[in-house]
C-alpha cells in the first residue's frame, strides 16, 4: 500500500492508477490545506460583507438575479450537487469512481 499527497498541482495519471491498483491512502499537503482555508476565509468575508457573488449567494443561470438569504446558502450548494446527481446507463466500476473522486479532490486542493 502506498500513500499519495495531493497539492492541487502535481497529480499525475500514474499516481491515480497506483492508488487504485494498490489501495493506497491519499492525504492533503499542508500547503493545500492552507490554500483551502484561505479560500474559505474569502467566501466567509463575502458573506459577512453581503457582497453579491454569482453562485455563492445568488441563484444559477436564469436565476442569477435572485439573491439567496445567508441562512439558505448551505442548502443552495447542496441543491446544486443534487441537481447534477443523475445518470443513465450501467453503474460505473468502483475503481473508476475512485479515480474521479481523486481528481476532484485534487482540484479542490488548489484552494
Q: With 70 as the cut, is the pLDDT of residue 92 above it? A: yes
Neighbour-count burial of 46, counting CB atoms closer than 10 A to its CB (0-12 exposed, 13-18 middle, 19+ buried): middle
Lowest-confidence segment of 43-47, 81-85, 102-106 by average pLDDT = 81-85
| Mean pLDDT, residues 62-91 taken together | 93
Q: Predicted confidence band at 8 (pLDDT cuts at 50, 70, 90)?
A: very high
| Domains parsed from the chain with CATH numbers | 3-85+93-108 (1.10.275.10)
The number of angstroms, rounded, from the C-alpha of 11 to the middle of its chain's C-alpha atoms is 15
DSSP letter, residue 89: S
Residues 29 and 37 sit within 8 Å (Cβ to Cβ): no
Q: With 70 as the cut, is the pLDDT of residue 63 above it? A: yes
pLDDT score for 85: 85
Amino acid at each position: 500500500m502506498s500513500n499519495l499527497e495531493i497539492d492541487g498541482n502535481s497529480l499525475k495519471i500514474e499516481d491515480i492508477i497506483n492508488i487504485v491498483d494498490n489501495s493506497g491512502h491519499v492525504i492533503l499537503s499542508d500547503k493545500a490545506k492552507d490554500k483551502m482555508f484561505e479560500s474559505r476565509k474569502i467566501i466567509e468575508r463575502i458573506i459577512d460583507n453581503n457582497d453579491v457573488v454569482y453562485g455563492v449567494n445568488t441563484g444559477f443561470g436564469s436565476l442569477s438575479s435572485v439573491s439567496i438569504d445567508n441562512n439558505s446558502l448551505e442548502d443552495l450548494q447542496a441543491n446544486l450537487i443534487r441537481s447534477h446527481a443523475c445518470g443513465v446507463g450501467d453503474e460505473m466500476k468502483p475503481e473508476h469512481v475512485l479515480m474521479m473522486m481523486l481528481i476532484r479532490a485534487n482540484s479542490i486542493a488548489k484552494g
